[in-house]
């Protein structure tokens, strides 16, 4: 889940109207500008993006010194009231009140020393109220983080607890962007010996996306069990898709999801699957070349499930099936290139002799190396199944 811009409460935003010299700025844990008010851009006479600027490029100590200002200086001043600093670009004095916000530091201040300033007393008078409001923000943020951790725990309850199923070997890598994400997958066996595997990707990354993913997974588990009497009837897939469309219309949560749902029938050694807007699964037949299974239809939420085809193919011992989320293919190198599906196909071919678990670990490591260890801005999920007969 990419970090969103810092949101300032309306009760603080209206204070910006007091003077053109009033501003706010947020520094991340590395001392880089994460966000700021428009007034701060004007004060600095900067009309270009100032995010990622270092704190020492923004503020100086109020007294002459060769020492640079560090984030810890602002953190130390959190409970001591406004401190006097200077703007690095102009040397103009300003008074700044700082407050911790998670690992970031929120600064509220004003430039002083001219007729348009609100004055030192005004900022001091408001500092208590500002600290109270920012304390409320911190509390809300902590509550949200607790909720996300709980959602992540619930998601993990759906992940496979075993690596072997009748006739199949499983390996996987599941790495949500945060505590919980929009990706979720599952593999489970049914009383009639069928094997079910699915991978879903709900739009967004917040707690609503995570909980919607859990609800979809629960539906898929229930459907797999309920459809036992229709094991060989592929028309049941359309019943599943229609049920999902009814349960999760896009207007209900303003969210949608992509999905691969597949079933293996041991009597016929046949795999049947549907793909609703998800990256194509990959089939690697033993002794052959890996290829995409491109039959697909629109994502779930549009009420267009009748456009999603059911695809079947037979498997032999040694055949492998791969499923992944777009967090893999949307990773970028520092040069801006994507880790595209062609690289996945080549990797699978070149490492076909590897144990399934080793292949999965190495592919995700290759994906990380491609992005030069930059943190992924989406969930990372890669699932591999090998038929052993």
Q: What does the CA dihedral 365, 367, 370, 375 come to, rounded to 10 degrees? A: -90
Q: Is the pLDDT of residue 1 over 50?
A: no
The torsion angles phi and psi of 248, rounded to 5 degrees, stand at: -130, 55
The torsion angles phi and psi of 25, rounded to 5 degrees, stand at: -150, 145
Nearest to 54 by CA among 32, 69, 73: 32
- pLDDT digit string, tens, across residues 22-35: 888 999 988 999 88
**pTM for this model (two decimals):** 0.67
- pLDDT digit string, tens, across residues 264-285: 999 999 999 999 999 999 999 9
- Would you call 18 helix, strand, or coil by DSSP? helix
Residues 299 and 256 sit within 8 Å (Cβ to Cβ): yes
* Burial tier of 22 (Cβ tally within 10 Å: 0-12, 13-18, 19+): buried
**Rama region for 167: left / alpha / beta (φ>0; ψ in -120 to 50; rest):** left
- pLDDT digit string, tens, across residues 281-340: 999 999 999 999 999 999 999 999 999 999 999 999 999 999 999 999 999 998 889 999
Residues 303 and 247 sit within 8 Å (Cβ to Cβ): no
Residue with structure tokens 């791969």? 322
Q: Is the pLDDT of residue 350 over 70?
A: yes
User: What sign does the CA torsion over 364, 370, 375, 381 have?
Assistant: negative
Which band of pLDDT confidence, cut at 50, 70 and 90, is reported for residue 382?
very high
Which band of pLDDT confidence, cut at 50, 70 and 90, is reported for residue 118?
very low
**CA 26, CA 15: separation in Å to the nearest integer?**
17
Say which residue, 209 or 76, is predicted with more confidence. Answer: 209
Q: What is the mean pLDDT of residues 353-357?
A: 95
Residues 259 and 240 sit within 8 Å (Cβ to Cβ): no
> What is the chain's Cα-based Rg?
27
Nearest to 256 by CA among 209, 222, 223: 209
Residue 297 has what DSSP assignment?
Answer: B
Residue 218 has what DSSP assignment?
Answer: H
**Rama region for 216: left / alpha / beta (φ>0; ψ in -120 to 50; rest):** alpha
CA atoms within a 13 Å half-sphere pointing along the CA-CB vector of 359: 24
Q: What is the mean pLDDT of residues 363-374?
A: 90
Q: Going by DSSP bridges, is the β-strand pair 183-189/195-202 parallel, antiparallel, or unpaired?
A: antiparallel
- Would you call 237 helix, strand, or coil by DSSP? helix
DSSP annotation string for 55-85: GGGTEEESS--SPPP-HHHHHHTTTS--EEE
Residue 374 has what DSSP assignment?
Answer: P
Three-state secondary structure string covering 126-185: HHHHHHHHHHHHHHHHHHHHHHHHHHHHHHHCCCCCCCEECCEEEEEEEECCCCCCCEEE
Within 261-375, where are the H helices?
326-329, 341-350, 356-370
Name residues whose C-beta falls within 8 Å of residue 365's C-beta, 6 or more positions apart in sequence: none
Enumerate domains of the chain plus CATH numbers: 10-148 (3.30.450.20), 157-387 (3.60.40.10)
Which band of pLDDT confidence, cut at 50, 70 and 90, is reported for residue 47?
low
- Structure tokens given for 166: 């009748």
pLDDT mean across residues, the chain:
85
- Would you call 199 helix, strand, or coil by DSSP? strand
The pLDDT value given to residue 228: 58
- Structure tokens given for 177: 């962007």
Chain-centre distance for alpha carbon 11 = 30
Q: Is the pLDDT of residue 206 over 80?
A: no
Q: Is the pLDDT of residue 257 over 90?
A: yes
Residue with structure tokens 């001591």? 80
Residues 38 and 17 sit within 8 Å (Cβ to Cβ): no
């Amino acid at each position: 889940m990419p970090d969103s811009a810092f949101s300032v409460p309306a009760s603080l935003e209206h204070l910006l109207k007091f003077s053109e010299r009033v501003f706010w700025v947020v520094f991340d844990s590395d001392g880089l500008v994460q966000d700021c008010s428009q007034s701060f851009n004007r004060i600095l006479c900067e009309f270009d993006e100032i995010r990622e600027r270092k704190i020492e490029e923004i503020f100086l100590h109020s007294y002459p010194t060769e020492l640079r200002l560090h984030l810890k200086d602002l953190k130390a001043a959190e409970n001591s009231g406004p401190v006097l600093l200077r703007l690095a670009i102009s040397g103009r004095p300003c008074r700044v009140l700082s407050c911790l916000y998670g690992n970031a530091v929120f600064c509220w201040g004003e430039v002083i020393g001219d007729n348009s300033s609100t004055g030192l007393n005004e900022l001091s008078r408001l500092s208590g109220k500002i600290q109270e409001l920012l304390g409320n923000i911190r509390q809300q943020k902590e509550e949200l983080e607790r909720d996300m951790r709980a959602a992540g725990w619930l998601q993990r309850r759906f992940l496979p607890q075993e690596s072997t199923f009748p006739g199949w070997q499983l390996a996987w890598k599941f790495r949500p962007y945060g505590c919980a994400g929009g990706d979720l997958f599952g593999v489970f066996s049914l009383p009639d010996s069928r094997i079910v595997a699915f991978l879903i990707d709900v739009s967004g990354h917040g707690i609503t996306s995570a909980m919607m993913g859990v609800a979809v997974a629960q539906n898929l588990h229930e459907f797999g069990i309920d459809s036992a009497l229709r094991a060989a009837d592929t028309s049941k897939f359309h019943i599943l898709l229609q049920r999902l469309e009814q349960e999760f219309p896009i207007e209900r949560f303003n969210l949608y999801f992509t999905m691969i749902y597949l079933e293996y029938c041991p009597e016929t050694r046949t795999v049947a699957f549907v793909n609703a807007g998800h990256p194509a699964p990959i089939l690697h037949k033993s002794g052959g070349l890996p290829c995409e299974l491109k039959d697909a239809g629109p994502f779930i939420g549009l009420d267009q499930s009748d456009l999603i085809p059911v695809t079947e193919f037979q498997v032999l011992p040694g055949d492998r099936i791969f499923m992944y989320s777009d967090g893999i293919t949307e990773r970028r190198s520092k040069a801006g290139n994507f880790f595209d599906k062609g690289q996945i196909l080549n990797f699978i071919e070149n490492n076909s002799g590897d144990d399934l678990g080793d292949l999965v670990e190495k592919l995700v490591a290759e994906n990380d190396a491609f992005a030069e260890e930059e943190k992924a801005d989406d969930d990372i999920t890669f699932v591999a199944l090998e038929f052993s007969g």
